[in-house]
Every structure is written in structure tokens, then in C-alpha cells.
Chain A
Amino acid sequence: MRIAITGCGVVSAIGEGVKETEVSLRNERCGIGLAVFPGIGEQMVGKVNVDNEMLAKGLGIEGEMPRSVLLGIKAAREALSMARVEDVSGMGFVNGTTVGGMDLTERHYDQIDKYKSLHLAETCSELIAKNTGVGGKTVTISTACSSALNSIITASEMIRAGRVSRVMAGGTECLTMFHQLGFMSLGIVDKERCRPFDAGRNGLNLGEGAAYIVIETEESAKERKAEILGYVAGYGNACDAYHQTATSENGEGACMAMLKALRMAGVETENIDYINAHGTSTLDNDRSESVAIKRVFGEKPPMVSSTKGFTGHTTSASGAIETVISLVAMRNGFVPGNMNWGKSEEEMIEPVAHTMTRSVERVMCNSFGFGGNDSSVIITMYPGRELEPIRETAVKEVVCVEKKEGDDCGKWIKPIEARRMTMQMRLVTVAACEALEKAGLEKPDAIITTTSLGMISNSMRILDGIENGEEVKPSLFMLSTHNSISSMLAIRFGCHGYNCTYCSSGDAVEDAERLISEGEARYVMLVEYEENEKIWQYRAKTKVKIITGQ
């Protein structure tokens, strides 16, 4: 079987829609500029130049909605209209987001009860599904900056397993004070326009936007005579398992993700025509990604560019926005330039500085997130090797450990490790250690977490601080994303295998079953994590299971 792309839609700082995006890329029109944030003044960001009111009006939507939902609906509608699917009621939807409704939460923090129902990442996905008519299974993924690319991977896996015949996949993210101040606390935001891979780079600019692709089996696309825009030929997800925010010097996770994608696609390195790099323009990412690309492709890699100099770093949407950019470039025969690059740095790759006309048939798209959640997807213009369908086999539970407040954590956690761990993080660590001990394993092959509210206590502490005009503590921000748990455990156990975080229950189990069935993992660690939360009334939950094939 092959996975065909039959629709795509995008909105970002360089354009509302595929056509505008193409024109901006061709003409090197950068979308990054100064925008005012209340309380912190002007910041250099890739803002979508339409306010919420106009967006909602254009979409015919009543009432207040998170901006990530509005941007999402806009991109999704374009993708669906391009795919020309007559009945979308059975179509699946895999959405990546981290901020969800955070923009409304932070703006109306004093009336949080009124807006709390719009805060959750999964609510954001449901609202996009509802307003586009997509009525099949909805899945929400939150692996920080790689969320959208992981959504494309999960959607492809769902199709390979025959769970659904057609899926819309991608991600959405809007600018928030929370993210802006959070990234600033890490000291990785540039006041000037970002310069990915340049020797003088000095950090990233945040951006916002949304993008989705519609994928289905090639057979289904041909049957309904849909135009095939390209193919998802291969993908890889691996974990750097190094640090929550820093990247390893040798780019281990990135390297593994790229190699997995190449192996799956059955493509030799010399046949990749273009790499759309993660290229955030931070000192560490660009160096580490350069090392990883050279490890995989050798000293003369294919043409590489980061398009974050056009859009800014759109975090949870970036994987999808850049997949659509790659698709647009491939279909129109050009390679997008790497804005603002001028000076090479020793041992680093030299990107394509300016947009150039070039025939491109195979593109690798990289997306890396906090916690070392690294993913890579290969899209091709023409059909390549057929992919094996996933025949789901039965799985069994090896062990299950549950922990509750008051249980002893002493044995497994050193005092210095405990400094950033909330009570719930300690409990989940102990549960995971005990589960491995009982199963007689050193480490699992993959780690998948389900959490709806994620690291809500850390997020609330940050919001309280912002409300009181305090600086954001970097140690809180680094552990504010949903995927903090999966990556914390990967770092602890040195688990470089598949690593993902879902927001709704059931999706993680299905994902684990697929991994086991296709032989990607033998033992999968499944984590259920929820903190005690008064506003959303969530009860604490800490459960770690290890499952394997029967």
C-alpha cells in the first residue's frame, strides 16, 4: 500500500492559504516583524496578520474561540476543499497542539471558570472537527514542537492499520504570552529576525499558524479519481533522551529519526533532493541538527533550508506547516531559501540561502521538540516503494503499577533529581522504575503517555507569575509541556525508541498495539498521568503499564 496526500491547507505569517504561501516563498517575503505583546512590549514574531474577530467573521463562526482553533479551522477547510472529499463525516482527524486555548486562559485569567472549557488541547481539536464537519475519530497529540509532524505519523499509521480510510492530520498553534515569556526565560529568543544555521544566529522568533494534509490510501484516492499531490513515503520517531530542553551534541535522536524514515521509505540518502530542517536558529539546535544531518548524509548533504526565517517557529504547528511548504516547493519545482543566512560556521551545514528553481522529487522534513521528541517524515512526488500494511496482533499486559500520593519515592529518586519534580512526577517515576523491575527489563522499547491536562501545576504557577508581573522561571517552563513525562522517563532510562504523548485515552493503547504489531517495539511502556486540579476538577492518576505481543 501507499499513502497518498490529496489535500493541503496552511495559514502562517507568510500567507493565508497555499497560493499566498507559494508566492511568499518564491519572492522571499519574510513574515516576521514586530508585534506588541501586552506588558512586554514589541517582540519579533511571525504573526498571522488577521485578528480573531476578522478570522471568525471570515469563517462564519459565532462566539469567542481560541485563536489556535480559528487558525486551525481556516487551514483545515482549505485542505478539505482541495481534497474534494464528498462526505467527510467518517474522516479521521489527528491534531497537534500545545497551547490549545491558552490565549483565552491568559487573557481572561481573572474569569478562568468562564473560559476553562476552551483550554484543553483536545477541546481545540474537537472544535476544529466540529466546524469542518470531520466526524470520524479525533486524536490529539502534544509532543511540544514536533506535535504536528507526529500527528502526520500517527495518521499514517492509522491508515496502514486499516483503522480508517482517510485522515486529516497536522497541527495548530497561536502566539501567547505564556510561550513568548517562556522561551525568553530560556534565553533563546532573538530580538532581531532569526538566522537559522548562520554563525551569528542568536535565537528563535516564535510564530503562529496551522496546517493540515489529507491522506488516504493510494487505492482510495485513485478510486475516487482524486488528484494525488504527493506521498508520505516514510517516517521515523525517536527520542534524544538527553535533556528536557537542550539537544545532544551528536544529535542522536535526530539522527535516529532520519535513519528510520529513510529505511522505511527505502530511499538512499543521495536520492533525497531537499531537507526542510527543523532549524530553529538557536545555538544548540542548529549545531546539533547539522551534526545529525552530516552523520546521516555525509559531508555533502542534499540541499537544506530552514523555513523558520519566513514563518518564525510555529512550535506545535511547525511540522505540518513545513510539510505543506515542502509539498508546495516540490510541486512547483523550487527549493525555499533559508532567510537571513550569510555566514557559515565550522562543522555546520551550509543551507540554501535563496529560493531557487530546482526539480525536487523527495523531501525530508524534520521536526524536533522539547524532551528530545525528534521526528522526520519523507514525502515524495511520485509513488515509491509500497508500505507494509500493519496487521494488528494481540497484546498482553506484562505488569501494571499504580501510585498515589503518600507512597514512598525515596528509593528511586536522588535529592538533586527531585528539585524539578512535582509530587506527581516523582510518583510516575517510581511507578515506571518498579514496573521495569517487575518485568525484568532495563528499559522499554517505546514510551507513550496519555495526559489531558499535562503539567498543569507548573503551567498554573507560570500563569500566576505572569499575572503578578514576575519573571517566568525557566525550570518551570521547561516542564510545562504535555510530553514532559514521556521524555523525563526516556531520559532516565536512556530510551531512544519511539516516544509520544496523547491527550485522550485509548489512542495511546492503539498506538502501542501498532508498534508491537509492526515490530517497532517489543515492550511498550504506557503511562497514564493526571495531576490533582481544582479548576478543571481532575483527579490525580499515576499508572504505568508495560505491554508486549502475545
Chain B
Amino acid sequence: MNVTKEQLKQQIIEALNLEGMTPDDIQDDAPLFGEGLGLDSIDALELMMVFDKHYGIKLTDRNESKRVFASVNTMVEYIESKR
């Protein structure tokens, strides 16, 4: 399975219930947390569930997840590295 940014963005939108948003609204390198999209620690937990469900990746370390979930680019890089 090849992960596309488009797919991942769609999964993020569904998991976080970002209604009215399309994959085009999320920039590949824009920060997802804080000043960027404005996600918080609970969204990070939801993203961990996305990783587990769709990619079989279990993230548990809070600091690591912060780094991995920085942007769509960093998420894709991490998924690719776990192949």
C-alpha cells in the first residue's frame, strides 16, 4: 500500500470530524498543531488511532508523536520509514 498525502488528509479529516474541509485545505508542510491548523493533545490521540487503524503503527511516546504529527509531510515520512 502506497500512502498518498491525499489519502492521509482524508483520514485526518474523517477522524477529527473537520467538517467542511477538503484535503486541499490542509497544506503539506503547514503545522497541524498550535498556530497552524490549531489541533490539540486530544487530536493527537485521535491521530494515533488513525496510525494504528490504517497503517498498523502504534505510537505511544508523547514526545515522539508531537514530532511525527508536526505536519502532513512529517506524518508521511514517518509512515514510509516504518515500511
Which residues does A use to contact B, with CB under 8 Å? 185-187, 243-246, 283, 415-416, 418-420, 471, 473-475, 478
Q: CB distance A246 to B17 under 8 Å?
A: no
Instruction: Name the one of B17, B46, B60, B62 contacting A474, with C-beta atoms under 8 angstroms.
Output: B46
| Cβ B38 vs Cβ A473 within 8 A | no
Interface residues of B in 38-83 (CB under 8 A from A): 38, 40-43, 45-46, 48-49, 60, 62
In the complex, what distance in Å separates the CA atom of A471 from the CA atom of B48?
Answer: 12
Asked if residues A475 and B43 are in contact (CB atoms below 8 Å), the reply is: yes
With the chains together, A122 CA to B82 CA distance in Å?
Answer: 50
- CA distance in complex: A185, B48 (Å): 10
Closest to A416 in B: B38
A-B contact pairs, 22 of them (CB 8 A): A186-B42, A186-B45, A187-B45, A187-B60, A245-B42, A283-B62, A415-B18, A416-B37, A418-B19, A419-B17, A419-B18, A420-B17, A474-B42, A474-B45, A474-B49, A475-B16, A475-B17, A475-B42, A475-B43, A475-B45, A475-B46, A478-B42
Contacts of B37 in A (CB 8 A): 416
Give the number of A-B contacts (CB < 8 Å).
Answer: 43
Task: Answer whether A419 and B41 are a contact pair too, CB < 8 Å, given A474-B46, A475-B46.
Answer: no
The 4 closest A-B pairs by CB, nearest first: A474-B45, A419-B17, A416-B38, A415-B20
Alpha-carbon distance A420/B40, docked complex (angstroms): 12
Whole-angstrom distance from the CB of B54 to the nearest CB of chain A? 13
A326 to chain B, nearest CB (A): 32
Min CB–CB distance A411 → chain B (angstroms): 15
A419 touches B45 (CB 8 A): no
Q: Is B21 in contact with chain A by the CB < 8 A criterion?
A: yes
Measured in the bound complex, the distance between the Cα atoms of B33 and A246 in whole Å is: 15
CA distance A415 to B60 in the complex (A): 29
CB pair B42 A419 closer than 8 Å: no
In the assembled complex, the Cα of A416 lies from the Cα of B39 at a distance in Å of: 8
A113 to chain B, nearest CB (A): 30
Interface centre among A415, A419, A420 (most CB of B within 10 A): A419
**Residue in A closest to B41 when the chains form the complex, CB atoms:** A246
| Distance in angstroms between the alpha carbons of A283 and B60 in the assembled complex | 14
Q: Given the interface contacts A474-B42, A475-B42, A478-B42, does A419 sit within 8 Å of B49 by beta carbon?
A: no
* A246 x B40 contact (CB < 8 A): yes
Contacts of B43 in A (CB 8 A): 475
Kindly report which residue of chain B lies nearest to residue A246, judged by CB atoms.
B41
A187 to B21 alpha-carbon distance, docked (Å)? 28
| Nearest B residue to A420, CB-CB | B17
B34 vs chain A, min Cβ distance (A): 12
Contact of B45 among A185, A415, A416, A418 (CB under 8 A): A185
Decide: B21 and A415 in contact? CB cutoff 8 A.
yes
* Chain A residues with CB below 8 A from B45, complex form: 185-187, 474-475
